[in-house]
Every structure is written in structure tokens, then in C-alpha cells.
Amino acid sequence: MKSQKLGRGLDALLGEIDEAYENEGTKKDSVLEISLKDIRPNPFQPRKTFDDESLQELADSIKHDGLLQPIVVTEDVDGYILIAGERRFRASKLAKLKTIRSIVVNSDNDKMRQLALIENIQRDELNSIELAYAYSELIKIHEITHDELSTMIHKSRAHITNTLRLTQLSQKTQKALVEKKITAGHAKVLVGLDEKQQQLIVNSIIGQKLSVREVESMIKNMKETKDFVPKQKENFSYDFSSIKERFESLGYRSKFSQNKLTIEFENEKQIEEFLTLFKN
């Protein structure tokens, strides 16, 4: 089954990293001091945003106490590629260190992609949008269902499905969520709206500090207004030629267009004479 295949794949990937960390204390050559300038970031890193304040705090901690857990890299033709530990890597550069303790493992592109996804998911280091695309990537790689992914990463199916729906949001709405201008709760109720509607509501959330409940009410009102379509008058054209001729024979000038007939009177007496035609 696909889920079993995925399970073995993830167990093997994570097991390789765990084993490397376990061997750290027993094999002195398993951890190397590698120049930071020789390490390139993982091109498959799902995490795109890093909190500057949090990184500075980690950098200060590394300066004071040293790096408690090494990063994981794989050897490349012109140096090394980072597999796991991007926050530690960035913080060490911020701390202006020259080298960093690193565990070197064998890895190919598929492994690097999956390890980056799994590490970030397990550490809860991804924002909602990054998490949504990480789930999507795992589902695509392993051709599995939401239920199978739920079992393998120990997250509820509802959580996975609701998170994946965030990928349907417009880029501007996703950016507002990443920048914490709106919450994940806000974002979830915006799914299904078109881009203009999303932008209107996002602006309202930011400007008016709307709660999720208030946004839900706003969307409900928008949908009710949209569903109500006033009945349009039927457009038709009527031939008033014979009636026009009749009025003219009685001495009344008239003109018509489409469904409208206009009678022109020269004076009040003519109006009174016209009205007598209907007094029977």
C-alpha cells in the first residue's frame, strides 16, 4: 500500500538523521567543523520566512552557550548543502561565526526535499501557508491521500484538509497571513471568495480589527446580496403604427419608440377633449 511505502520511506529518512545524532557522542569524526561560507542552503527548503527577532535571540544564545545541536549537511561538488537546521545555520552567520558543527550524511535531491519538509513539519516551524505547501508537496511526492498523510505525520485529517485549502487563496491574501496581518482563522473563511472579495475583506480586517465571527457575518451578507438579483424588466418592441394613425385622425400628434407611446397636446382644451373619449 502507498501508506506503508511512505511509512518506510519516512522512517528510513528520519532514522538516518537520528542515527547520525546518536553517533555524535561516540564517533568523533561524525561531526565536523565546516566553514559557513562552504555551505549552501537547501534548495528544497519549504520555509521562506524567518522571524528576525527570534533569529537574533538564537544568535545571542549560540554566542554565549555555543551550538547545542549540529546542523545536517550533505557533501556537494563545491562544498556542502544544508539538509536540516536552517535556523541554526542563519543564526550562526548572524553571530558572525566562521565555522559550524555539522553532521555529514549521504543524500540525493529527493531525500533533501523530503527531509526538509518533514523536519519543518515536526518542529512546527512553518507558518500556515508554508505548511499547506509542505503537505501538498508530500502528497504529490508519495501520491497519497489526506488520510494516509494524516496517519504518517500524526496530524488530524481535518487539520490537513483545512490547511491545504489555504493554497486556494490569492497571493495577496496569503501574504497578509504570512505577515500576520490576518489570522489562520480569518484566512480559512476567505477560501472560496474571488480575489477582489478577498482583498476587500482583508482590508476590512486590518482597518477595522474584525474578529473571525464578524468576518463570517460580513461574508454571509455579501453572499445574500449577490444571490438577490432584481427581476429585470423584459425588453420588447411594440408596433404602435396603427394606434398612432388613429390618434392623428382624431387630431392628436403622437410618437412612439419600442414599448412607449407619447401623445402630444397643444393646449388644455385638447387634453379635456381627449379625456372625454374615456368617459363611457
Q: What is the pLDDT of residues 201-243, one digit of tens each?
A: 999 999 888 899 999 988 888 877 765 444 455 555 667 777 7
Confidence of residue 111 (pLDDT cuts 50, 70, 90): low
Instruction: Walk across the sheet containing 79-84 and list its strands.
Output: 31-35, 99-104, 71-76, 79-84, 39-40
User: Domains of the chain by range and CATH?
Assistant: 2-158 (3.90.1530.30), 169-226 (no CATH), 241-275 (no CATH)
pLDDT of residue 190: 92
Kindly report the CA angle at 117 between 77 and 96, in degrees rounded to 5?
60
Kindly tell me if the per-residue pLDDT of 8 is higher than 50.
no
Distance CA 50, CA 39 (A): 18
The mean pLDDT of 149-178, rounded to a whole number, is: 88
pTM of the model: 0.51
Which is higher by pLDDT, 11 or 3? 11
Percent of the chain scoring above 70 in pLDDT: 73
- Please give the C-alpha separations between residue 133 and each of 44, 126, 152, in angstroms, as whole numbers: 12, 10, 17
Task: Calculate the average pLDDT of the chain.
Answer: 77
Do residues 57 and 79 make contact, with C-beta atoms less than 8 angstroms apart?
no
pLDDT of residue 203: 92
Distance CA 94, CA 55 (A): 8
Kindly tell me if the per-residue pLDDT of 61 is higher than 80.
yes
pLDDT digits (tens, 9 = 90+) for 23-53: 544 444 467 888 999 988 877 666 666 677 8
Q: What is the dihedral of CA 116, 121, 124, 126, to 10 degrees?
A: 60
Distance CA 189, CA 213 (A): 10
Distance CA 168, CA 177 (A): 13
Strands 31-35 and 99-104, by their bridges, are antiparallel
Which is higher by pLDDT, 27 or 250? 250
